[in-house]
């Protein structure tokens, strides 16, 4: 698409602006169709973003997104149209706001709930420096469930500054929104009892600047102009109602399914989780499932349909979800709390303080672990082995394929303490097999002096790939499937005769499997080599490429194997 200059946008007539919206919509559809990405959320926010660019002066004024699932139009309007076809590709445009990418991106996002806090910080910095630009937080109603938003609203009055909060209310996060705040917003839309609801925001020092249809520029433009004029009176909230997927009938009718569009849709681990949990729950009344606004992508729809009383989707509230799961366990239930690796970071303190501190039998189903790819830095699940293994009393299981995963999900039902099972997106089938708690499994045994300890299916695949190459030159090695990071299989580790031990994990090196093995062996004379990710944030790109590039190179592993063989000769 062509770059549209600010000048053109500022001087365009209403029909011309609507034409620009259509251009943008077509470009988003075209690019997401080929590159994957967030579709319905972006389509719904085209007019709103065009209106913001018309009314405000970016980058002088600052626009902070929440999550960032609606930033494509902003990218197209800020000089990045020419590169838009590189969206979500290695070295191309990120699917999220990125300060490194453009001065139009004021603040990086990816996780929910940060925008108002961030806007307040930018606004206070502006005030302290004596500057006078506007700061706008664009927040979806899904994020309004998140505790961070409330913490920001609660401190807004005492911060004594001025930000404009634009609430993009499409009635959904990824799935339809629920909860008290949602009911309040619905009430505002219904225009009954408006006065009282408005006062809720006013109590938090926030003027309610009205409500408008966010897919109609003729309503949006005057509302934003008015809100901008009034900003010197203090912070305000403009309530903008948009339709997710607007302008594309397919997306409008299937907003959940078209929220995110990936090139690989089936997530086999997630599907297996759903099947196993339903089967377990049929026999065991203690089984309950907890999620934070991710029911479908975690594979739990069937469970929610079959056992609505025992299924809890609390919205984008990872901390509350974790404490709720913890207390359900304290009350005698057996909760499976399913969540993406990167979002579980939000509940780090609650895993320690609520679950493990009380040794409560919560099962953490840590999905999308490892490099997840096109969503980039904020969505890679490469820290969980480290931040989980430092927590006392937490067991950590890592399936090597879906068959093992199924066994682990079943085993966890009988496990008396907290346990995390971490697994990647995608998934290799594998026959169901008996898993013994805390035991590794020797996949391939040789008499050479090298053993590779690999955790998880991408690590096992890497080991196997290199072995198949190496055996061509007569260099074979033992491969062990590290099914548990905690507890380690001390018995097997002690018995392994090989002097050279290679570890492979789909996680940063710091605090992961390699460190645990090195700590275990201490000074017993083993030579230990670790493959995992370097101490850097990993950007968006193809998972396999990124894995190679950020520390798990097959050729490096092959070279290492050769060198060890040659040195042993």
Q: Which residues are catalytic?
A: 244, 318, 346
CA distance linking residue 298 with residue 494, whole number of Å = 37
Least separation in angstroms between residue 144's CB and a copy of itself is 9
Least separation in angstroms between residue 516's CB and a copy of itself is 7
Query: Please, which residue, 106 or 242, has the CB nearer to a copy of itself?
Result: 106
Choices 213-221, 227-235, 247-255, 347-355 (CB under 8 A): range interacting with a copy of itself: 347-355
CA-CA-CA-CA torsion for 404, 407, 409, 413, nearest 10 degrees? -150
Least separation in angstroms between residue 380's CB and a copy of itself is 10
Binding a copy of itself (rule: CB under 8 A), the pick from 71, 138, 152, 460 is 152
Binding a copy of itself (rule: CB under 8 A), the pick from 279, 330, 432, 492 is 330
Binding a copy of itself (rule: CB under 8 A), the pick from 129, 229, 233, 283 is 129
Chain centroid to CA 6: 33
Interface of this chain with a copy of itself, residues 475 to 534, rule: CB under 8 A:
508-511, 514-516, 518-519, 522-523, 527-530
Interface of this chain with a copy of itself, residues 199 to 258, rule: CB under 8 A:
199-200, 203-205
Interface of this chain with a copy of itself, residues 256 to 285, rule: CB under 8 A:
285
Interface of this chain with a copy of itself, residues 355 to 414, rule: CB under 8 A:
356-358, 377-378, 383, 386-387, 389-393
Strand order in the sheet with 135-140: 62-65, 135-140, 164-169, 236-241, 207-213
b/e burial code for range 258-275 (CB count within 10 A of at least 16 → b): bbbbbeeeebbbbbbbbe
**Mask 31-70, x = binds a copy of itself (CB under 8 A)?**
---------------------------------x------
SS3 396: strand
Locus of tokens 């405000």? 56
Query: Please, which residue, 32 or 148, has the CB nearer to a copy of itself?
Result: 148
Choices 30-38, 52-60, 261-269, 343-351 (CB under 8 A): range interacting with a copy of itself: 343-351
Q: Which positions ≥6 away from 396 have C-beta within 8 Å? A: 385, 388, 389, 419, 420, 422, 484, 485, 486
Using alpha carbons, select from 7, 50, 28 the residue that is nearest to residue 214. Answer: 50
Interface of this chain with a copy of itself, residues 82 to 111, rule: CB under 8 A:
99, 106-108, 110-111
Asked if 268 and 426 count as a contact pair (C-beta separation under 8 A), the reply is yes
**Mask 178-207, x = binds a copy of itself (CB under 8 A)?**
xxxx-xx--x--------xx-xx--xxx--
492 HSE (CA, 13 A, CB side): 22
Q: Give the C-alpha distances (Å, rounded to integers) separating 120 from 99, 116, 135, 271, 360.
A: 17, 6, 8, 41, 38
DSSP 8-state class, residue 522: T
Q: Is residue 19 close enough to count as binding a copy of itself by CB under 8 A?
A: no
Query: Please, which residue, 64 or 462, has the CB nearer to a copy of itself?
Result: 64
Reduced DSSP (H G I as helix, E B as strand, rest coil) percent helix, strand, coil of the chain, to 5: 45, 15, 40
């Amino acid at each position: 698409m062509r770059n549209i200059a600010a000048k053109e946008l500022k001087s365009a007539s209403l029909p011309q602006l609507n034409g620009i919206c259509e251009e943008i919509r077509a470009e988003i559809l075209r690019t997401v169709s080929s590159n994957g990405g967030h579709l319905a959320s972006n389509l719904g926010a085209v007019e709103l973003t065009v209106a913001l660019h018309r009314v405000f002066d970016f980058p002088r004024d600052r626009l902070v997104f929440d999550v960032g699932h609606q930033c494509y139009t902003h990218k197209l309007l800020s000089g990045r149209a020419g590169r838009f076809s590189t969206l979500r590709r290695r070295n191309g445009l990120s699917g999220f706001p990125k300060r490194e990418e453009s001065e139009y991106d004021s603040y990086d996002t990816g996780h929910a709930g940060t925008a108002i806090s961030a806007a307040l910080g930018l606004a206070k910095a502006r005030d302290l420096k004596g500057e006078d630009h506007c700061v706008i937080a664009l927040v979806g109603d899904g994020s309004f469930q998140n505790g961070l938003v409330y913490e920001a609203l609660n401190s807004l009055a005492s911060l004594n500054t001025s930000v404009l909060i634009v609430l993009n209310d499409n009635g959904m996060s990824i799935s339809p929104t629920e909860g008290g705040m949602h009911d309040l917003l619905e009430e505002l839309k219904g225009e009954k009892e408006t006065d009282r609801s408005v006062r809720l925001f006013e109590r938090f020092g926030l003027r309610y600047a009205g409500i408008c249809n966010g897919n109609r520029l003729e309503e949006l433009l005057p509302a934003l102009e008015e809100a901008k004029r009034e900003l010197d009176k203090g912070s305000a909230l403009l309530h903008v109602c948009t339709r997710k997927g607007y302008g594309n009938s397919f997306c409008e009718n299937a907003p959940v399914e078209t929220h995110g569009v990936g090139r690989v849709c089936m997530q086999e681990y997630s599907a297996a989780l759903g099947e196993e949990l339903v089967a377990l729950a049929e026999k065991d009344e203690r089984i309950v499932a907890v999620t934070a606004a991710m029911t479908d992508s975690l594979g739990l729809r069937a469970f929610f349909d079959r056992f609505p009383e025992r299924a809890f989707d609390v919205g984008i509230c990872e901390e509350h979800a974790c404490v709720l799961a913890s207390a359900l366990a304290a009350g005698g239930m057996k909760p499976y709390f399913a969540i993406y690796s990167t979002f579980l970071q939000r509940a780090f303190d609650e895993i320690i303080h609520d679950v493990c501190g009380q040794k409560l039998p919560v099962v953490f189903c840590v999905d999308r672990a490892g490099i997840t790819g096109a969503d980039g830095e904020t969505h890679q699940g490469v820290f969980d082995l480290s931040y989980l293994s430092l927590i006392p009393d937490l067991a950590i299981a890592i399936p090597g394929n879906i068959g093992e995963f199924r066994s682990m999900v079943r085993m966890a039902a009988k496990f008396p303490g907290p346990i995390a099972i971490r697994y990647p997106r995608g998934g290799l089938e594998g026959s169901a097999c008996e898993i013994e708690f805390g035991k590794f499994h020797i996949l391939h045994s040789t008499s050479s002096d090298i053993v590779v300890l690999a955790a998880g299916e991408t690590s096992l695949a890497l080991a196997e790939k290199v072995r198949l190459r190496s055996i061509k030159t007569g260099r074979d090695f033992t491969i062990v499937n590290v099914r548990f990071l905690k507890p380690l299989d001390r018995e097997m580790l002690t018995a392994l005769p090989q002097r050279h031990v290679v570890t492979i994990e789909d996680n940063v090196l710091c605090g992961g499997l390699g460190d645990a093995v090195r700590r275990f062996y201490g000074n017993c004379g083993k030579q230990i080599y670790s493959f995992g990710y370097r101490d850097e944030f990993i950007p968006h790109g193809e998972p396999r490429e990124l894995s190679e590039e950020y520390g798990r190179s097959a050729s490096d592993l092959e070279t290492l194997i050769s060198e060890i063989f040659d040195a042993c000769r």
